[in-house]
């Protein structure tokens, strides 16, 4: 049966999921995949945390785990991630850890005989000044945005390794390139978070303190596209069900807005009524990152959760996680 996000399509095939290892299940994206896979009767989800002994940057540990568990499907939702500040100030960590995770899981899956793998990238793999909206063909056509070049290089390497496994060994390894994601279980770190959770926290704290003024970073002029993480997980399962998915596919909502507009929406969602000042000492990053989602639309999938719905729901989730002490920050 087609999941709610799926348009009817005659091309859809029902490739079995079987035992699915979701790497990165404690993160926002991995947790969304685990939730989504609960609705798939043939998916037997396996997870293993670092605390339980699986460090994904440790090749030997990954090999041992894959040969013990023998998954049919691997979803690479594990990554060192962060917002513009974390990316720009810790490039060595972002490059090394994301390269290690991609190599250990993709190459480990190949050597363990795993027939199916989905690798998760990011829209920052495309050139900083790629024509908008950015189509899959924009890959490697120009220089990257410097603030997240290290992360982007690691994600391009992972995408290419999955593609090479397919080309050279006939394995159905493929990738998705999501736009900026948000949703329950996000990271609310004051400096290292992405823009949406960063603003939710700061503006909520300002509203509760009755502050007259709160700052947002940069000029507010850059444009960003946001996708609810539950939409991403739905798109990922949709692609995993296909017998012959494209090597990589953009996943986005198809609409973007300025950081200034986003900031105003966050202020309204948390009930902040004071002034907003722009801290232009902070970087803007890429001027615009809107994905061309026509390939995925043609395949028969589209996003279902608009920001108008997803943002207030995420504020509720943030307050619940924070009150319960389970929030990541």
When the beta carbons of 60 and 268 are compared against ligand GFB, the nearer one is: 268
Longest dimension (CA), the chain: 61
Give CA angle at 84 (133, 146), nearest 5°. 70
When the beta carbons of 44 and 205 are compared against ligand GFB, the nearer one is: 205
| Contact between residue 30 and residue 22 where contact means Cβ atoms under 8 Å apart | yes
When the beta carbons of 59 and 329 are compared against ligand GFB, the nearer one is: 329
Q: Does 199 bind ligand GFB (CB under 6 A)?
A: yes
**Residue 218 neighbours by CB distance under 10 Å:** 18
Buried b (16+ CB within 10 A) or exposed e, 24-36: bbbbbbbbbbbbb
The pattern of x and - marking residues 17 through 56 that bind ligand GFB according to CB under 6 A reads ----------------------------------------
Q: Does 282 bind ligand GFB (CB under 6 A)?
A: yes
Nearest to 271 by CA among 209, 227, 220, 198: 209
Which of 100-108, 144-152, 249-257, 308-316 is the region at the interface with ligand GFB (rule: CB under 6 A)? 144-152
Q: How far apart are CA 91 and CA 79, in angstroms?
A: 13
Q: Does 198 bind ligand GFB (CB under 6 A)?
A: yes
3-state secondary structure labels for all residues of 177-220: EECEEECCCCECCCCCCCHHHHHHHHHHHHHHHCCCEEEEECCC
Residues between 156 and 195 with contacts to ligand GFB, criterion CB under 6 A: 180, 193-195
Q: Does 284 bind ligand GFB (CB under 6 A)?
A: yes
Q: Does 127 bind ligand GFB (CB under 6 A)?
A: no
The pattern of x and - marking residues 242 through 281 that bind ligand GFB according to CB under 6 A reads -----------------x----------------------
316's tokens: 């509720």
What is the smallest separation between the CB atom of 162 and ligand GFB, expressed in angstroms?
Answer: 18
- Out of 151, 173, 182, 318, the active site residue is 151
Number of Cα atoms under 13 Å in the Cβ half of residue 219? 7
Among positions 110, 128, 189, 224, the unique one binding ligand GFB when judged by CB under 6 A = 224
Q: Does 228 bind ligand GFB (CB under 6 A)?
A: no
- Strands 256-258 and 223-228: what pairing? antiparallel
Sign of the alpha-carbon torsion through 13, 16, 21, 25 = positive
Which of 136-144, 212-220, 298-306, 311-319 is the region at the interface with ligand GFB (rule: CB under 6 A)? 212-220
Residues between 76 and 115 with contacts to ligand GFB, criterion CB under 6 A: 83-85, 87
For ligand GFB (CB under 6 A), the number of binding residues is: 27
Among positions 127, 158, 184, 222, the unique one binding ligand GFB when judged by CB under 6 A = 222
What is the smallest separation between the CB atom of 286 and ligand GFB, expressed in angstroms?
Answer: 6
| Contact between residue 18 and residue 73 where contact means Cβ atoms under 8 Å apart | yes
What is the smallest separation between the CB atom of 328 and ligand GFB, expressed in angstroms?
Answer: 15
Among positions 104, 122, 187, 253, the unique one binding ligand GFB when judged by CB under 6 A = 122
272 included as an active-site residue: no
Nearest to 96 by CA among 66, 127, 56, 126: 56
Tell me how far CA of residue 254 lies from CA of 18, 290, 294, 318, in angstroms. Answer: 32, 7, 9, 25
Q: Which residues are catalytic?
A: 151
Rule CB under 6 A: which residues touch ligand GFB? 83-85, 87, 122, 124, 147-148, 151, 180, 193-195, 198-199, 202, 216-218, 222, 224, 259, 282-286
């Amino acid at each position: 049966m087609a999941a709610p996000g799926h348009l009817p399509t005659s091309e859809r095939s029902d490739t079995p999921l079987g035992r699915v290892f979701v790497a990165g299940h404690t993160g926002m994206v991995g947790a969304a995949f685990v939730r989504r896979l609960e609705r798939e009767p043939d998916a037997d989800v396996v997870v293993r945390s670092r605390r339980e002994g699986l460090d994904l940057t440790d090749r030997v540990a990954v090999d041992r785990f894959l040969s013990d568990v023998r998954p049919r499907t691997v979803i690479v939702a594990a990554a060192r991630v962060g917002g513009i500040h974390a990316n720009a100030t810790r490039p060595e960590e972002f490059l090394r850890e994301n390269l290690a995770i991609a190599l250990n899981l993709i190459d480990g899956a190949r050597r363990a005989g795993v027939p199916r793998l989905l690798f998760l990238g990011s829209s920052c793999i495309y050139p900083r000044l790629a024509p908008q909206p950015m189509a899959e063909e924009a890959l490697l056509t120009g220089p990257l945005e410097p603030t997240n070049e290290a992360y982007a290089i690691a994600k391009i390497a992972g995408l290419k390794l999955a593609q090479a496994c397919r080309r050279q060994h006939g394995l159905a390894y493929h990738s998705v390139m999501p736009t900026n994601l948000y949703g329950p279980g996000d990271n609310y770190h004051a400096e290292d978070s992405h823009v949406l959770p960063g603003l939710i926290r700061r503006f909520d704290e300002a509203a509760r303190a009755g502050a007259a003024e709160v700052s947002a970073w940069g000029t507010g002029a850059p444009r960003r596209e946001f996708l609810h993480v539950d939409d991403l997980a739905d798109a990922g399962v949709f692609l995993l069900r296909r017998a012959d998915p494209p090597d990589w596919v953009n996943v986005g909502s198809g609409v973007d807005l300025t950081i200034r507009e986003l900031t105003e929406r966050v202020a309204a969602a948390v009930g902040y009524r004071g002034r907003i000042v722009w801290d232009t000492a902070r970087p803007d990053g890429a001027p615009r990152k809107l994905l061309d989602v026509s390939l995925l639309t043609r395949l028969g999938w589209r996003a279902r959760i608009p920001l108008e719905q997803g943002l207030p729901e995420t504020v509720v989730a943030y307050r619940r996680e924070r009150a319960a002490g389970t929030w990541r920050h």
